[in-house]
């Protein structure tokens, strides 16, 4: 049987998608070979790649004047690729710091430009929060403003999109496709696929076309967005299987009501889990309500000595990967699109039973 998987990444995939991939594995569409064994330049593969892009454009309402790139290297390589692509004419950028991922992004960027850090992580009554934009000292002359919509490890998410007349660059690795998004507000959106899209090995970049001519001359061509855009993300061999499988996930999303329907279910899932945690004296979540992530829910047990037992019993109940990130400890339930409401209900039932037996 398939368990409920709360892993932060690589994360749960829809069972229907895995079944389709399984059915097509040995003989893709009667061609006598697996999609993994095809040339990325073949007509069949290019059609798969283009359909994935068209479906993503539909799902996210991506305007015509944006390019969609299917790259490799994870979000972490984008931490370097972004400044190398965007700081060629003006080397100043603002980075909003709210946690571990936005910090990693700014540390890489500091090697390539004059990076102004805005510390927006604050505490309100002992809980983590993101400060109001009125508190930020954004620069007048930045080439772009970077932030991470959802801090996957901390479980801290922006309540709204920052307002700026500079190009906004956002790490959406753990929240892309979880809620409707107005892409036209951004200069660039990027996301590793392995959280809320598909398997590891694929990284999405959605970039407004007028930003394609700002690269530093020394940039490797494989990282250069304009080269990748000109070559259909095939400057070299792309991650063909991850791209194909992500395409199956986009089809699954479209068949299941798209991003709006996912968002409604995601809100229900988050409400159920946070609601239970708040009603309990045994569990606690360290984030103010306005900045609680709807995708990654960290929580602690009243008695930290019970963590190991909690994880063991959860696993025996087919509830997997609930340990918090190694840097922060505690527990974390990642409730991405592929985790159904029933999975979160099963988790809450288990948590309640565990608390009654150990509280
Ligand atoms: C997981 C994650 C990353 C790192 O992704 P890789 O693909 O492993 O490089 C970066 N940012 C956020 C917000 C993440 O959740």
Q: Is the CB of 317 under 6 A from ligand 1?
A: no
pLDDT-based confidence at residue 308 (cuts at 50, 70, 90): very high
pLDDT of residue 329: 85
Q: Is 41 annotated as a binding residue?
A: yes
The proportion of the chain whose per-residue pLDDT surpasses 90, expressed as a percent, equals 98
**pLDDT given at position 202:** 98
Contacts of 279 (CB under 8 A, 6+ apart): none
Taking residue 25's Cβ as centre, other Cβ atoms within 10 Å add up to 11
Predicted confidence (pLDDT) at residue 97 exceeds the cutoff of 90: yes
pLDDT in tens, 118-127: 999 999 999 9
Domains recognised in the chain with CATH numbers:
15-255 (3.40.640.10), 257-358 (3.90.1150.10)
Using alpha carbons only, give the angle 194, 198, 199 rounded to the nearest 5 degrees: 60
Q: Ligand 1 pocket test: which of 71, 79, 96, 101 has the largest number of ligand atoms within 8 Å of its C-beta? A: 101
Measured between alpha carbons, how far is 359 from 352 in angstroms, rounded to an integer? 10
The predicted model scores a pTM of 0.98
pLDDT at 16: 97
Annotated active-site residue 195? The verdict is yes
Is the pLDDT score of 359 beyond 90? no
User: Which residue of the set 55, 94, 101, 224 is catalytic?
Assistant: 101
Cβ proximity of 157 and 285 under 8 Å: no
Check whether 194 is labelled as a binding-site residue: yes
Mean of all residue pLDDT scores within the chain = 97
pLDDT of residue 326 exceeding 90: no
> In 3D, which of 321, 258, 317, 270 has the Cα closest to residue 297?
270
- Annotated active-site residue 216? The verdict is no
pLDDT of residue 142: 98
Centroid of ligand 1 to alpha carbon of 67 (angstroms): 21
3-state SS, residue 333: strand
Q: Which DSSP letter does residue 163 get?
A: P
In this model, does residue 327 exceed pLDDT 90? no
Q: H helices within 87-125, ranges in order?
A: 100-109
Contact status, residue 55 vs residue 251, Cβ threshold 8 Å: yes
Name the 3-class secondary structure at 99. Answer: coil
pLDDT in tens, 141-182: 999 999 999 999 999 999 999 999 999 999 999 999 999 999
Candidate of 7, 71, 76, 79 to mutate for ligand 1, largest count of ligand atoms within 8 Å of Cβ? 76
């Amino acid at each position: 049987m398939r368990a409920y998987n709360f892993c932060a990444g690589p994360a749960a995939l829809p069972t229907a998608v895995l079944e389709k991939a399984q059915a097509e594995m040995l003989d893709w569409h009667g061609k006598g070979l697996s999609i993994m064994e095809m040339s990325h330049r073949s007509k069949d593969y290019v059609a798969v790649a283009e359909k994935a892009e068209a479906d993503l454009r539909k799902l996210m309402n991506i305007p015509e004047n944006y390019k969609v790139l299917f790259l490799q290297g994870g979000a972490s390589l984008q931490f370097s690729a972004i400044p190398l692509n965007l700081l060629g004419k003006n080397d100043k950028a603002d980075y909003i710091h709210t946690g571990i991922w936005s910090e990693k992004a700014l540390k890489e960027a500091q090697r390539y430009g004059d990076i102004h850090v805005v510390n927006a992580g604050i505490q309100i009554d002992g809980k983590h929060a993101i400060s109001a934009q009125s508190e930020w000292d954004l620069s007048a002359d930045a080439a772009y403003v970077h932030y991470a919509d959802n801090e996957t490890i901390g479980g801290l998410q922006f309540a709204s999109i920052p307002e700026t007349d500079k190009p906004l660059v956002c790490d959406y690795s753990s929240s892309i496709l979880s809620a409707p998004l107005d892409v036209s507000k951004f200069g660039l959106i990027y996301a590793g696929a392995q959280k809320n899209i598909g398997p590891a090995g694929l990284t999405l970049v959605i970039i407004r076309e007028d930003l394609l001519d700002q690269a530093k001359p020394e940039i490797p061509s494989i990282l250069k967005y304009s080269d990748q855009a000109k070559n259909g993300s095939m400057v070299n061999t792309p991650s063909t299987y991850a791209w194909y499988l992500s395409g199956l996930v986009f089809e699954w999303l479209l068949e299941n009501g798209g991003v709006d329907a996912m968002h409604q279910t995601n809100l229900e899932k988050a409400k159920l889990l946070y609601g239970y945690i708040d009603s309990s004296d045994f569990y606690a979540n360290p984030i103010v309500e306005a900045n609680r992530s709807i995708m990654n829910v960290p929580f602690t047990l009243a008695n930290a000595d019970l963590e190991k037992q909690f994880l063991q019993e959860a696993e025996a109940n087919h509830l997997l990967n609930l340990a918090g990130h190694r840097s922060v400890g505690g527990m974390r339930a990642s409730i991405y699109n592929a985790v159904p409401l029933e999975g979160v209900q099963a988790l809450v039932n288990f948590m309640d039973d565990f608390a009654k037996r150990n509280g």
